[in-house]
Chains A and B, each alone.
Chain A
Amino acid sequence: MRALVWHGANDIRCDTVPDPEIEHPRDAIIKVTTCAICGSDLHLHDNFMPGMEKGDIVGHEFMGEVMEVGSEAKSALKVGERVVVPFTIWCGECDQCKRGNYSVCERSNRNKALADKVFGHTTAGLFGYTHLTGGYAGGQAEYVRVPMADRTHIKIPGGLTDEQVLFLGDIFPTGWQAAAQCDIQPTDTVAIWGCGPVGQMTIRSAILLGAKQVIAIDRVPERLAMAKAGGAITINFEEESVVERLNELTGGKGPEKCIDAVGMEAHATATLDSMYDRAKQALMLESDRAHVLREMIYVCRPAGTLSIPGVYGGLIDKLPFGMAMNKGLTWRMGQTHVNRWTDDLLNRIQEGQIDPSFVITHTVPLDQGPEMYKTFRDKRDGCIKVVLKP
């Protein structure tokens, strides 16, 4: 089969690789009909995420048709069914899964021993990501093996297009959880850093959850235009001071809820601290650029909440933790507990409350994926979200 394969920094290729096979009775094989490039795939492409190996198949946002089902998954899945696959693999049986904390499933990471050493305790297995999270083959491919498939799926009813439901696997519930864990009140101002795909979903989620005011921060004009269309007041950080503008919009008090939809690769040249981070990153003295976190801590209203769906990979320097502590900020973060939200979100899509396909700007065949990684990374051609058709 054809698949997008990681070969090193800035080197993802469309290769021919062996077809996946059932390895465990709980597995299923999915024929991928539609997949997408996620912003967090760029961290792999740019080689900022430790634990990748040459030959890894990437991609964790995908859907398709069930082709084959292992004996222990047959009660939950049937051949021919249409499913979106959540990027977090979950067993449904461990203590964390029983609590709905699927992204920290205690059993789905097959490299648990390694993760225990690095993270202290393992988190869930993820598709197409670092070997710290299991090193499972990803879904930017014609076929994919889904472990624990009796749990790790979202069944899609007829009448909905792939484009409408694909993002249930990652960015829609990620944006939703980012907003939900802020416990948005009708009087809240929610400031969202980053108008990429997750940022766009977060903006819509915050509006649906009833925020009084949603403010989106970015520098790319077309992304800001899309954010504005979704109901956000926009701040272009290259044209105006984020701190001054946020204070102006909140009567000098600061936003009650701040959401980081940027993560470890904050724009490298906008501020002195991010240039410092980028230089340290290049010298391998730091792994993550934390400008957004620093700014959120500074501008957030005391006793406010910071929500962090943006992906971080390791070590951060110069984080003003004293400021955060003294302001009594609440931190909410983590990978998304995808299936916790998807029944509700699927209903909302079916009811027509939201159509997540608004974010798609490019649709291309799978073999054009490597070039689209670069287009997406460089924000060329108005690129916000790339969908691939295997």
Chain B
Amino acid sequence: MAYYDRSSAGDNLARGLGWFSIGLGVAELMAGRSIARWMGMEDKTNLIRAYGVREITAGVGLLALGDPKPWIWSRIAGDAVDMATLAAGMEDNPRAGNARIAFGAVMATTVLDVVCVQKLHREEAYHRSLPVPDYSGRSGFPRPVSAMRGAASDAPIGQDMRTPRILQFQPAQSQAASS
């Protein structure tokens, strides 16, 4: 079972990155052409839009799908893909300066992602180091379960809570005979 604490420092940072992912993703999806032009990489417009979908997915995952660690790791992988794309696009690019600015921004968010995932793993290690309480003796019954099975079979249960006789499973043969 994955452990995480939805009010921890690591989780708060993960949520911040989730909102950032959604904002960036929407921008890449809606303004992919403009972003590509600004970086001198017009031929990568569709790729940038696809990256936008990836960012939105990671953002929804971080904000809504429980344990944020897999989604932060997916962001780190995405950062690597972004940097590779930007690095490849700098050759013979009259706007390589802008691409370098974008590269620097991705590097900065990668640092944040790495800090975040380290925090989250530290928090999980802390939770795992805590002793697990033992509830194996908490039956709630005064006697062994085998002695309690059916102890309330005479409970007053109204007819409206009963299953119609034809739908009861037991015993199959006599059901058929009596119906």
Contact = CB atoms under 8 A, between A and B. Distances in A.
Interface of A: 10, 99-100, 177, 180-183, 185-188, 200, 204-205, 207-211, 219-223, 225-226, 228-231, 238, 256, 267-269, 275, 278-279, 281-283, 301, 303, 305, 328, 330, 332, 340, 344, 348, 352-359, 361, 374, 377-378, 380-382, 384
B65 A355 contact: no
A286 to B, nearest CB: 12
Contacts of A332: 161
A345 to B, nearest CB: 9
B60 A282 contact: yes
B140 A354 contact: yes
Interface string B149-179: 1111101111011110001111100000000
A226 B137 CA distance: 7
Given A185-B169, A279-B60, A303-B167, A231 B65 contact: no
Contact of A268 (B1, B65, B140): B65
Given A358-B140, A359-B140, A381-B130, A222 B135 contact: yes
B168 A384 contact: no
B150 A352 contact: no
B142 A238 contact: no
A183 B158 CA distance: 10
28 contacts: A10-B6, A180-B161, A183-B163, A183-B168, A186-B153, A204-B140, A207-B145, A207-B149, A209-B153, A209-B155, A211-B149, A221-B1, A221-B132, A222-B132, A229-B135, A230-B145, A268-B64, A268-B66, A269-B2, A278-B66, A301-B169, A303-B167, A340-B158, A353-B148, A356-B140, A358-B140, A378-B4, A381-B133
Contacts of A228: 136
B155 A358 contact: no
Contacts of A275: 65
A229 B138 contact: yes
Interface residues of B, number: 46
Q: Which 10 pairs show the lowest CB-CB distances between chains A and B?
A: A210-B150, A382-B133, A231-B145, A358-B140, A282-B64, A208-B152, A226-B135, A183-B163, A187-B170, A210-B153
A267 B66 contact: yes
Contact of A225 (B63, B127, B135, B148): B135
A355 B65 CA distance: 37
A227 to B, nearest CB: 9
A180 B67 contact: no
Contacts of A282: 60, 63-64
B7 interface: yes
